[in-house]
Structure 1
Amino acid sequence: MDVRNLLNFNKNKVMDKTSNDEFISTLKQIKEGDRLLREDFLSRYTPFMLKAASKVAGRYVDIKNSDEYSIALSAFNEAIDCYDMTKNYNFLLFSEHVIRKRLIDHMRKNKRNKELPFSYFENDDEILENYTIFGSNIGFEDVEVREDIIEYKEALADFDITFMDLIANAPKHEDSRKLCIRIAKVLADDEELFRLLQKYKNIPRSELKKKAKVHSRTIGNHRKYIIALCLILRSNLELSKSYLSLTEKGGS
């Protein structure tokens, strides 16, 4: 297994077709006017709406006495009504986008009544096109994974590393990948080395080569890859940690 597989795990994920068909069938019935089913659906996805609203508001959003929740609920209903059943994009990601837009509109309207909302300038078609990379896999857990990947991308950016860098710099040979993982573990487990990494945004090469017992050139040749692995080890990305474990054991 290489970095390209790690970054595209959503494409490779085996879907539960029955579960997906049931979800689409439920949406279809709701859009056709089943009010009781809509109420049940809204109740079931209340935690999702609250989390989406909290992320935009930057604070905890509760159901009671909360304008943000009311707007999120309205936006979720809007997403149901506007969702195109013929397109292959993720409904929950689409609804999260609608919630975000409506809340941003609300917050900006309260601050500057004459200012056009940020969402006015967004291209919905381009955004929905991007959602198709997730296929029609509509589980709530996939939104969680998406948020984790976004956080990881931001962490990499602090070190001037992109996902394309990882694809380009990933070692081709299994032995090299295993060696990089071992070096990254030394870097992640040593608090002083990790502190230096964070402070200078670079690997403390002379110190690390002694502790990992490797040549300095090895670290230099795989610098970005080792940093990326180290950040995974220090994160809560369980799927990515599983990738490291499989790679160490020789998995593909």
Structure 2
Amino acid sequence: MVYEDRDKFIKDNIPFIIKTIVGVTKRYVEVENSEELGIALEAFNDLLDTYDEEKGNFHSYAKVVIKNKLIDHIRKQAKVTVVSIEEYHAIKENSDNEAIVRQELIHYREILKEHGISYELLASHKPVHKQTKDMVVELALMILRSKQMVLHLKEKKRLPITQINKEYGASVRFIKSHKHTITAIILAHEYNIQCVIDYLGYER
């Protein structure tokens, strides 16, 4: 991505970057002395070189990239703290993990909301039987391998049901019945929501 005045573009987006940081950390950002701001600015600067239109709306993509960088930072900091203070190991580990998971789930909820999905909706449509769940997850992971289908989902906010049916042989009825769960799994992997991926127990 090329800009005539890169520095000005970054400066103009500082409010957006700070708002994204606050969304993750839930605390005020001290511009003069913020490690998180430095990480976010570096991530924003890097993505200017890697972004292309296939990745969807620029600011939506930037928000995800920055959040993932910050969550990775929080996770690394948590590990350092646990190692350096052994006497608080168990308590600290649980506390840090809960904080990370909480931030990831807040982030995930925002992503799902953009696709018209809530946690309540997922709960009411989740597969009941293990075999069905396995089939749903397997189909979602196959769809993930198709950049075209994932792009369609991100841009249109819906699954390309006809294409999935033709490509993978899954029935239209099955896809429609489990479209929310399939979408949620794809988005968890696409946006690296690690706690959801770990919960499912399936890697891409």
Instruction: State the TM bucket, normalised to the shorter chain.
Output: 0.5 to 0.7
Q: Which portions of structure 1, spanning 4 or more consecutive aligned residues, are displaced by more than 3 angstroms?
A: 51-61
For the residues of structure 2 that align with 1:61 and 1:140, how far apart are their CA atoms? Answer: 26
CA displacement, residues 149-188 of structure 1 (integer Å, 9 cap, x when unaligned)? 0000000001111000011000101111011101111222
Give the alignment's TM-score, normalised by structure 2. Answer: 0.54
Whichever of the two has the greater Rg, that structure is 1
Match of 2:33 in 1: 62
How far apart are residue 147 of structure 1 and its match? 0.8
* Conserved 8 A contact 1:233-1:241: yes
CA displacement, residues 207-250 of structure 1 (integer Å, 9 cap, x when unaligned)? 1122222111110111111101111121322232122226xxxx
Match of 2:56 in 1: none
- Relative to structure 1, the CA distance from residue 55 to residue 204 in structure 2 (aligned partners, 3 Å threshold; closer, same or farther) is same
Matching of residues 134-153 of structure 1 within 5 Å: 139-153=95-109
For the residues of structure 2 that align with 1:196 and 1:177, how far apart are their CA atoms? Answer: 23
Match of 2:194 in 1: 238
Q: 2:162 aligns with which of 200, 206, 209?
A: 206
Give the alignment's TM-score, normalised by structure 1. Answer: 0.44
For the residues of structure 2 that align with 1:60 and 1:208, how far apart are their CA atoms? Answer: 47
- Relative to structure 1, the CA distance from residue 187 to residue 57 in structure 2 (aligned partners, 3 Å threshold; closer, same or farther) is farther
Q: 2:138 aligns with which of 166, 182, 195?
A: 182
For the residues of structure 2 that align with 1:139 and 1:60, how far apart are their CA atoms? Answer: 27
Match of 2:179 in 1: 223
- Relative to structure 1, the CA distance from residue 160 to residue 63 in structure 2 (aligned partners, 3 Å threshold; closer, same or farther) is closer
Q: In the alignment, residue 156 of structure 1 is paired with which amino acid?
A: L
CA displacement, residues 42-87 of structure 1 (integer Å, 9 cap, x when unaligned)? xxxxxxxxx87975456866269xxxxxxxxxxxxxxxxxxxxxxx
* Unpaired stretches in structure 1, ≥5 consecutive residues: 1-50, 65-136, 247-252
* Conserved 8 A contact 1:186-1:211: no
SS of match in other structure, 2:138: helix
- Relative to structure 1, the CA distance from residue 158 to residue 61 in structure 2 (aligned partners, 3 Å threshold; closer, same or farther) is farther
SS of match in other structure, 1:203: coil
* Unpaired stretches in structure 2, ≥5 consecutive residues: 1-20, 36-92
Q: Which has the higher helix share?
A: 2
* Conserved 8 A contact 2:104-2:195: no
